Each structure stands twice: as C-alpha cells, then as structure tokens.
Homo-oligomer: A and B are copies of this chain.
C-alpha cells in the first residue's frame, strides 16, 4: 500500500513490511507498527540496531510502496531527508550538491547554511574529499536547504564530535520549533531524542513495532535535568523489556 492523502497528523499503520531477498526467504522488518505524530511536532524513533527504523522512514518518505498497511502524511510541500549514509553525488561539489537538491534556495542562503555547519571551507570540495563527519553535515545542510515541511532524519548527528553534535542538535531543535516542521528523527542516543522530540517512539527488535510512546513535556527547552533523566530511565527500561521479551 502507498501513502494516502493529506491528514492533520502523520499516521502510520503498517500491518507488515517484508524485504524480499536474493538468497533466501523474505525477511519481515515491520509488523503491526502504528504511530501518530501531530503535524508540526517532532518525533524520535529509538530501537535496537537492525530492527527496522530505516525501513520505516523509507515507507514514510514514499520510497518503498511494497507493504501492507497505510501511511497518511500531514499536508506538506517539501520533504527534507537525511539518509543514514550521506548519499551525496560524488561528481558534484558540496555547494552543487545542495544547489541541485534545493534549486530554489538562494546562493547566500546556501553559503550561510554551509557556514553554520562549519562547511564554509569545503564548499567546492567533491564528496570524495570530505571526511565522513563533513559529508554527513553536507547531507544535513541539503535537507535543511530545501526548507522542508516534513523532515526525516536517520541518525543525523552520528560521527560528529560531542560539542559539535550538541550544537547542531540545539540548532535543529530551535529550527523545528520555530518553523513547526513535522519531523521524525531516528537515533540511538536517548538524551538526543529527549532534547529534540516532543514524542518518542520506542521500537521492539525486528520485526519492529512500537513498544512504548513517551511524551516529552512541552516546552522541551525548559525540561529539567531530573525530568530528562527520569524519561531516559523509563525509555531504557521499556527497551530492555522489549529486548528480553524476544530472547
């Protein structure tokens, strides 16, 4: 089934998603996975490695329509997406990569974005000349350059040093809050999820389904350290329980 028409929230109800394989039987990645995210809010997806998070984002982005169930997207103009690997065009410079994906963005906007992400020196580099951390930042810049209304981020801050990751996290959080971008971010880092999201979806091991949904009290920016720690503990417990249940 395919994404349905516009709704007031992101509604995902996947009955089953099987990956067909070259060498063996199909592999069930998602099963009975349901989640709802109000328009303009940010959700975080946390779950064990290989459980089906990337698969979920691909279904939501409409990149894979071979599943049973349905996905309803909030009305949105542009989609911004950060894949788990950078996926830059190796034969185009950093600046061109962004220009091509966001043809409407002005040159100054792109330059400003690059500067913000510490990429000013690298605008005319080819992707092959970047470190992985730099390349990931370019991918992030690309997703932001399209001025998205719907933003899908697959581990956007991995491979960055801690101070930089924290800085970018806060910047993204501010942007989401300001522009009310409906956002879904996949992360393995619970503090990151709590800092970024209004709602956290905890997934079971493969085949993934939502084992718990945690709401982060708004406004997030005023969340106390203690409240955050408590949320983190609850999340960790839920994930551990889900893991145990499978074993």
Stretch at the interface among A1-9, A153-161, A214-222: A153-161
Is A36 among interface residues, defined by CB-CB distance under 8 A? no
What residue in chain B is nearest A243 (Cβ atoms)? B163
Is A169 among interface residues, defined by CB-CB distance under 8 A? no
Within 8 A of B (CB), among A185-203: 188-190
Count of this chain's copies in the oligomeric assembly: 2
| Separation of A163 and B220 alpha carbons in the complex (Å) | 26
CB distance A159 to B125 under 8 Å? no
What string of 1s and 0s marks CB contacts (under 8 Å) between A127-152 and chain B?
Answer: 00111111001000000000000000
Least Cβ distance of A97 to chain B in Å? 13
Chain A contact residues: over half helix, strand or loop, or mixed? loop
CB distance A21 to B131 under 8 Å? no
Other-chain contact of A126, B22, B50, B54, B134 (Cβ < 8 Å):
B22
Is A240 among interface residues, defined by CB-CB distance under 8 A? yes
Is A48 among interface residues, defined by CB-CB distance under 8 A? yes
Q: List 12 A-B contacts (CB under 8 A).
A: A23-B125, A47-B161, A48-B163, A49-B134, A49-B160, A50-B118, A50-B134, A52-B131, A85-B132, A161-B239, A162-B189, A162-B190
List 5 extra interface pairs beyond A23-B125, A47-B161, CB under 8 A.
Answer: A49-B131, A132-B155, A158-B158, A160-B188, A161-B239
Interface residues of A (CB under 8 A from B): 19, 21-24, 27, 46-50, 52-54, 84-85, 93, 118, 124-126, 129-134, 137, 155, 158-165, 188-190, 236, 239-240, 243
Q: 10 smallest A-B Cβ distances: which pairs?
A: A49-B133, A50-B131, A50-B134, A84-B132, A48-B161, A161-B188, A49-B160, A23-B124, A49-B161, A158-B158
